[in-house]
Amino acid sequence: MTSTSSARTTAPVATSTITAAASGRWTLGDLPVSRVGFGTMRLPQTGEALVPRAVPRDRAAALAVLRRAVDLGVNHIDTAAFYFSPLRSANELI
């Protein structure tokens, strides 16, 4: 009986910062928008998404993440009315 083993291949971990600006832009209406956006669903909390027992994220840390995204060229921030924890809303942070 012949045994074969298959090695699982994973993508290499990036060791450098990739900016949204490097991904290019497209036009939305009359505005240039980066192709890489920032989703804010998990921004206001840690742990599982959209559960009552989630832990609110530190406000300063959440704001630092948003600022870093903008520094990297993100100008499309995905948000929705239900992206919130009981104590904080992603919209309020933005």
**This prediction's pTM:** 0.63
Walk along the chain (94 residues) in steps of 10 and give the mean pLDDT of each run: 53 68 85 86 75 78 90 86 66 80
Number of H helices, E strands in the chain: 2, 6
The residue behind tokens 């900016």 is: 19
Which pLDDT value is given to residue 49? 67
The continuous run of DSSP H or E covering 6 comes out as none
CA gyration radius, the chain? 18
| Residue 29 annotated in active site | no
The Cα 66–Cα 35 span in angstroms is 17
Q: Which of 34, 40, 83, 90 is catalytic?
A: 83
